[in-house]
A and B are shown apart, each in its own frame.
Chain A
Amino acid sequence: MQGPMIDTLVRQGVSRRTFLKYCATLASMMALPPTAGRAMAEALAAARRPSVIWLPFQECTGCTESMTRSHSPTLEGMIFDMVSLDYHETLMAAAGHQAEDALHAAMKDNAGKYLLIVDGSVPLGIDGAYSCIAGRTNVDLLKEAAAGAAAIVAMGSCAAFGGIPKAKPNPTGAVAISDIVKDRPIVNVPGCPPIPVVMTGVLAHYLTFGRLPDLDDKMRPVAFYGETIHDRCYRRPFYDQGKFAKSFDDEGARRGWCLFELGCKGPVTHNACATTKWNGGTSWPVESGHGCLGCSEPDFWDAGGFYKALSMPADPLKMGAAAAAVGAVAGVAVSFANRAKKHRAQSSHETTTLADLEK
């Protein structure tokens, strides 16, 4: 299937109107000007299916589940079909040597042009032996695949920031993709799992404009991660009024008050859940009555407890023992210095002057 994407869409019964609506929505979601919708439609319609290689590393396959299942009949899913997914262990029919051959063929045929999507973190402990595919370590596979990639998309919090595998005490020495690959453009699409439309938005942007979207300081697309959950939360008015649910089944919870005191991490979490929602716009965590876990932020797993309010200090005494030890060493050292100074002064019969007293 190598023709323009529009042919495939027509074959699947997508009308022109639906397609244009989709492109306009996508463009507006990414805060692009209205004209970008048409540009996007033209570019997407004419686009050849780009080769996509999807490498799964230390992950739970939740990102793939999110991508493929949650919204299968929608256009996002179809667009996703439009890429030439040349290697994806979970989705491809081939296995074993056939799968490996497909990977190598795709890398060779599209060298320098394919899009590399990675989900899962990369373990570096015991020479990367914690996670191997076809007898090769993840770090080895990543370096080889990244060398020929036009761009890399780190899908999910594990690939973007290390995620749960990197949670303390990080037994496998897990790191993010950006810790290993330094010479290729990388987009982080964090979330546990990330929102499907964010993925297709990034892909559409790449196909339309030939470059990756604008990124924030954590290399996330600003269009989707520019604002916090809290800023866009429909429960925000209750926060501003000081109306908080104190437990998950009290009167406040039933009335839909703010979940801040129950540990919601919305105020510090940048993601688009509050606007795009999940499962085809059905609902999202805060709407279902549970606070945001902050899954699209680095090290959310170790951010001081899911049910501890943000206002509670995380663990301020954790440095107490170390600080006391350093203080003791400094105190003893200074004491010895003071004594030595005193002895020197005594032995050289120094006298105290008025100037000394004014020090």
Chain B
Amino acid sequence: MDALQLLTWARGPGLDLALGIFVLGVVWRLIEVYSLGRKRDLAPARQHPGASGLRTVLRRSLPPPGMLKASPVSYVGGFVFHIGLALVVFLFAPHILLIKSLTGLSWPGLPSQFIDMVAVLTMMAMLVILADRINKPVKRFLSTFGDWFAWVVTFLPVLTGWMAVQHLLLPYTLMLALHILSAELLLAVLPFTKLFHAITLFGSRWYSGRINAHKGVPV
């Protein structure tokens, strides 16, 4: 199999397979998570101004008082690479073309040079966070295989995509094939790893916010 055949496979059957596993996994995990739900709280609700699901969704996106100073790498690095990932994935013109060809939906993209810079910043932030995770004894102790694995499958598509665009190391065809394959790997494992937070993030925040609001506790 040469590079072009690999690319053709990645664009055809490979993508079919990855998207199939992704959809299957997301539906499965959502149903499973939903069915784990707690019993209904029959106590009368307490009122506290500002305690609501929405508040928790918003508030947990920001660092609690003092935490930014205590753990700057986690917060700054985390923000940079999450926002960077979102920009690169959803506002890079070729990605928008792909989504358009799949769904018909389209929106304006950002200039490629800007996306290029964002990709580099994203990778730098991810590397710093990884170094932090390795260096801090507590973080290292808490890390399981799933954490390292999630980092790798998230990092690979950014790296290969950036290298393909920059024509680095390998011929473009092969690099593009590797990029698509790495993105397919990410899609396939997303529902079954901690990366599933991409789907459940706001739902779970809303859920805990609601439970605590019922008890009159703003969190």
By a beta-carbon cutoff of 8 Å, the part of chain A in contact with chain B is 228, 230, 267-268, 304, 310-320, 322-324, 326-328, 330-332, 334-335, 338-339
Tell me which residues across on chain A come within 8 A of B35, comparing CB atoms: 331-332, 335, 338-339
Q: Is B20 in the interface zone, CB < 8 Å from A?
A: yes
B32 interfacial contact with A, CB 8 Å: yes
Q: Once the chains bind, are A338 and B23 in contact (CB under 8 Å)?
A: no
Known contacts A311-B11, A335-B31; 13 additional CB pairs below 8 A are A267-B8, A312-B101, A314-B11, A318-B16, A319-B17, A323-B24, A324-B27, A327-B27, A328-B31, A330-B24, A331-B29, A332-B35, A334-B32
Q: For B4, give its contact among A268, A318, A332 (CB under 8 Å).
A: A268
Q: How distant is the Cα of A179 from the Cα of B26 in the complex, in angstroms?
A: 39
A313 and B102 contact, CB distance less than 8 A: yes
Residue pair B28, A328 in contact (C-beta under 8 Å): yes
Q: Is the CB of A334 within 8 A of B28?
A: yes
Interface flags for B76-105 (1: CB within 8 Å of A; 0: not) read: 000000000000000000000010011000
Which of A327, A335, A339 is close to B26, meaning CB atoms less than 8 Å apart? A327
Question: Which residue of B has the minimal Cβ distance to A310?
Answer: B8
**Structural contact, B32 and A331, CB atoms closer than 8 A:** yes
- Interface of chain B residues 2 through 41 with chain A (CB within 8 A): 4-5, 8, 11-12, 15-17, 19-32, 35-36
From A267, A313, A320, give the contact of B101 (CB < 8 A): A313
Q: Residue A314 contacts which of B12, B26, B27 (CB distance < 8 angstroms)?
A: B12
Contacts of B8 in A (CB 8 A): 267-268, 310
Q: B102-135 interface mask toward A, CB cutoff 8 Å, 1 = contact, 0 = none?
A: 1000000000000000000000000000000000
Q: How far is the CA of A315 from the CA of B15 in the complex (A)?
A: 9
Bound-complex Cα distance A330 to B30 (A): 11
Q: Which residue of A lies closest to B10 (CB)?
A: A313
Q: Which residues of B contact A327 (CB under 8 A)?
A: 23-28, 31
Interface residues of B, Cβ cutoff 8 Å to A: 4-5, 8, 11-12, 15-17, 19-32, 35-36, 98, 101-102
Partner of A323, one of B21, B29, B98: B21
Asked if A331 contacts B28 (CB within 8 A), the reply is yes
Residue of B19, B27, B29, B102 contacting most chain A CB atoms (<10 Å): B27
Q: Inside 8 A of A317's CB, which chain B residues have their CB? A: 19, 102
B31's contact among A228, A319, A322, A331, by CB below 8 Å, is which? A331
Tell me, rounded to whole Å, the shortest Cβ–Cβ distance linking B99 to chain A.
11
Closest to A304 in B: B12
20 A-B pairs within 8 Å (CB atoms) are namely A228-B4, A268-B5, A268-B8, A312-B11, A313-B12, A319-B17, A320-B19, A320-B23, A323-B22, A323-B27, A327-B25, A327-B27, A328-B27, A330-B24, A331-B35, A332-B35, A334-B28, A334-B32, A335-B35, A338-B35
Q: How far apart sit A272 and B21, CA to CA, in the bound complex (Å)? A: 38
Contact of B19 among A228, A230, A319 (CB under 8 A): A319
Tell me how far the C-beta of A59 lies from the nearest C-beta in chain B, rounded to whole angstroms: 28
Inside 8 A of B23's CB, which chain A residues have their CB? 319-320, 323-324, 327
> How far apart are A281's CB and chain B's nearest CB, in angstroms?
27
**Cβ-defined contact, B16 with A331, below 8 A:** no
A327's nearest neighbour on chain B, judged by CB, is B27
User: Inside 8 A of A314's CB, which chain B residues have their CB?
Assistant: 11-12, 16
CB distance from B117 to the nearest CB of A (A): 23
Name the 6 nearest CB pairs between A and B, nearest first: A331-B31, A327-B27, A335-B35, A327-B24, A319-B20, A331-B28
Residues of A within 8 A of B19 (CB): 316-317, 319-320, 323
Asked whether A331 lies within 8 Å of B30 as measured between CB atoms, the reply is yes
Cβ–Cβ < 8 Å partners of A268 in chain B: 4-5, 8
Q: Write the nearest CB–CB distance from A38 to chain B, whole angstroms.
A: 35
A311 CB contacts on chain B under 8 angstroms: 11
For residue A267, which residues in chain B have a CB less than 8 angstroms away from its CB?
A: 4, 8
* A230: chain B residues within 8 A (beta carbon): 4
Of chain B, the residue at the smallest CB distance from A318 is: B16
Q: Judging by beta carbons under 8 Å apart, are B24 and A324 in contact?
A: yes
Cα of A318 to Cα of B114 in the assembled complex, Å: 34
State how many angstroms separate the Cβ of B182 from the closest Cβ of chain A. Answer: 16
A310 to B98, CA, bound (A): 13
Are A323 and B20 in contact (CB-based, < 8 A)? yes
A228 to B32, CA, bound (A): 48
Least Cβ–Cβ distance between A261 and chain B, in angstroms: 12
**Which of A230, A313, A320, A326 has the most chain B CB atoms closer than 10 A to its own CB?**
A313
Alpha-carbon distance between A310 and B180 when the two chains are bound, in angstroms: 14
- Asked whether, in the complex, the Cβ of B27 is within 8 Å of the Cβ of A316, the reply is no
- Smallest CB separation, B62 vs chain A (Å): 28
